[in-house]
Amino acid sequence: MSLIAQDIAVSIGRKRILNGVSLQAEAGQFTAIVGPNGSGKTTLMRALTGELPHRGAIRLGGRDLDAFAPEDLARRRGVLPQAAALSFPFTVAEVVRIGLEARGERADALVPAALAAVDLPGFSGRHYQQLSGGEQQRVQLARVLAQVWQPVDDQGPRWLFLDEPVSSLDIAHQLTVMRLAADYARRGGGVIAVMHDLNLTALFAQKVILMGKGEVLAQGTPAEVLTDATLSHAYGCDLRVNAVPAEGIWILPQVAAG
């Protein structure tokens, strides 16, 4: 199953945010969307998940996104936004159950399983507002996971849409989340993630879509997209791939992606 977007354009007021964006992402693959601030990454993500009105076509498994009923979309894909605010004193378990309610299920056994997957075992009874920012982010990811727990069901692959899923996390939990997403794709689901960390992107993504000024500048494998020339052009600064300066200390996630 593929997600295909063709000539996506989004305007807010008189300002054009996306200008004719086309891409294809495959189930069983981790696709990363990267680019500088203001390049349209989050806007593209919100268009792909049906949250923003847009021109152009988006098809999931050959079916127009607009043709899905909201409850059907909730069963086919889970969405982790860049930020999520809760005004009421929910417990962690209650937040995770929101994902289950989106499926029309209770399945409370999934709550501890989803929390364990994001390294929050035993947090079910704690109050969400009392957690750190990074812990809250992982609770939200657990909610999304519970919603689409099995990467493939009898209707085909499911999808994770993750907008900056590691932005508030320490390096160990960044790796936990990236491995979790990669495993979801390995087991047949689709993963599309907005990323800022190019090192993690290179380690875990099979496909990279590089955005700039509301357009796709390049797309392909990490080796094809993450080059000196392409990155320097996109980010407007001198960047070198696999070149560590002679002086200084550099700490990189030198681990196997598996």
Question: Is the model's pLDDT at 246 over the cut of 90?
Answer: no
Contacts 24+ apart (CB under 8 A), 99-104: 99/142, 99/143, 99/144, 99/145, 99/146, 99/147, 100/146, 100/147, 102/71, 102/74, 102/75, 102/78, 102/147, 103/74, 103/75, 103/147, 104/71, 104/75
Residue 142 lies in a domain: no
Whether residue 144 contacts residue 160, with contact meaning beta carbons closer than 8 Å, is answered with: yes
Q: Which of 134, 171, 164 is nearest to 255 (CA)?
A: 171
Q: What is the CATH number of the domain that holds 26?
A: 3.40.50.300
Q: How many structural domains comprise the chain? A: 1
Radius of gyration of the chain (CA): 18
Residue 44 lies in a domain: yes
Q: What's the pLDDT at 100?
A: 83
- Those residues whose C-beta lies under 8 Å from the C-beta of residue 128, and which sit 6 or more positions away, are 86, 89, 90, 91, 92, 94, 95, 136, 139
Residue 245 lies in a domain: no
Residue 113 lies in a domain: no
Domain that includes residue 163, residue range: 2-80+155-235
In whole angstroms, give the CA distance from residue 44 to residue 46: 5
Q: Choose the weakest-confidence range: 12-16, 19-23, 97-101, 233-237.
A: 97-101
Residue 254 lies in a domain: no
**Range among 84-88, 207-211, 247-251 with highest mean pLDDT value:** 207-211
**Range among 84-93, 152-161, 240-249 with highest mean pLDDT value:** 152-161
pLDDT in tens, 188-204: 999 999 999 999 999 99
Sign of CA dihedral 140, 142, 145, 146: negative
Helix 171-186 and helix 133-147, axial crossing angle in degrees, nearest 10: 10
Q: For the full predicted model, state whether its pTM sits above 0.85.
A: yes
